[in-house]
């Protein structure tokens, strides 16, 4: 970038209040700065994949490019913070985010345990490392998620399966104890959920305000959100359809008016603009 005079120092010399941002794989001034990096590589190197997968299985990548996404979000937050500061001070800033930093920061809870407690957790499948019951259960016609993240919600699960005596059972009376005795708890919960359908259990659990739901396909997820009035999609120019921006401002959806360009669609416009750059003073 310095050769093109697009580095921070060159740009700031002409415009001191400019805000610039750099995204790298492993930081611009580290011993690993020369290494190439993509989302998948950093999912592995940051420890994210080490935590993802079945207990006795191999490490798995997350199903979306989570490191790329987190890096983008963190860069956006940094730029917004710099814009806010510039509005007060008139000073520009340079924002730096690396894929590795974003990946490590995503593991805040786990890495704190490593740093402070000497822990080195591994894969837990669909179970939460500290909450129970908080995982997938198989019903008569498929799987559901049950996320009983506190004692009140656990009590709701006990009521739903017709076992209220489990609420005060000393083996399961607190979340910490439940997690320690999860195998025993699941010996009760698994056959209970297997005895009826997903829709049966989801309805019962929701009556007790226990967070739960099916494991939807992408099409099922969109259809459910549409049916619930969530307006998850937008239609842009040329009937282009996509998932909308998740942010609402004062209740209004942020809409994108243009679709992504087709391959080569703006080539002539860009070339024409570039050809005028040499004429600028």
The pLDDT score that the predictor gives to residue 254 is 80
Q: What is the 3-state secondary structure (H, E, C) of 161-227?
A: CCCHHHCCCCCCCCHHHHHHCHHHHHHHHHHHHHCCCHHHHHHHHHHCCCCEEECCCHHHHHHHHHH
Q: How far apart are CA 42 and CA 176, in angstroms?
A: 32
Residues 220-257: pLDDT tens digits? 999 999 999 998 988 777 777 888 889 999 988 887 66
Residues in the chain: 281
Whether the pTM exceeds 0.75: the reply is: yes
Q: How many other CB atoms sit within 10 Å of the CB of residue 150?
A: 11
Q: How confident is the model at residue 277 (pLDDT cuts 50, 70, 90)?
A: low
Which residues are known to be catalytic?
128
- Strand runs (DSSP E) across 58-203, as ranges? 94-98, 134-139, 142-147
Q: Domains in the chain and their CATH numbers?
A: 8-117 (3.40.50.10540), 134-215 (3.30.1540.10), 219-253 (no CATH)
């Amino acid at each position: 970038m310095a050769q093109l005079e697009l580095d921070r120092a060159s740009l700031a010399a002409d415009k001191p209040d400019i805000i610039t941002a750099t995204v790298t794989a492993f930081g611009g001034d580290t011993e690993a700065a020369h290494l190439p990096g993509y989302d998948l590589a950093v999912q592995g190197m940051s420890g994210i994949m080490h935590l993802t997968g079945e207990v006795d299985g191999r490490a798995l990548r997350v199903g979306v490019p989570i490191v790329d996404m987190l890096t983008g979000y963190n860069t956006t937050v940094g730029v917004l913070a710099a814009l806010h500061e510039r509005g007060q001070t008139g000073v520009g800033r340079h924002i730096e985010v690396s894929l590795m930093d974003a990946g490590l920061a995503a593991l805040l809870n786990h890495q704190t345990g490593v740093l402070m407690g000497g822990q080195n957790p591994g894969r837990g499948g669909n179970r939460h490392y500290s909450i129970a019951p908080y995982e997938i259960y198989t019903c008569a016609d498929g799987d559901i998620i049950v996320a009983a993240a506190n004692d009140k919600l656990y009590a709701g699960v006990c009521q739903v399966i017709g076992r209220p005596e489990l609420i005060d059972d000393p083996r399961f009376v607190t979340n910490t104890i439940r997690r320690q005795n999860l195998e025993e708890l699941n010996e009760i919960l698994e056959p209970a959920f297997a005895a009826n359908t997903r829709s049966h259990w989801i309805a019962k659990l929701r009556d007790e305000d226990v967070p739960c739901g099916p494991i939807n396909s992408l099409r099922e997820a969109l259809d459910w959100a549409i049916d619930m009035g969530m307006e998850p999609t937008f239609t842009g120019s040329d009937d282009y359809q996509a998932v909308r921006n998740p942010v609402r401002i004062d209740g209004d959806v942020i809409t994108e008016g243009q679709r992504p360009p087709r391959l080569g669609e703006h080539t002539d416009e860009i070339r024409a603009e570039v050809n005028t750059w040499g004429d600028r003073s």
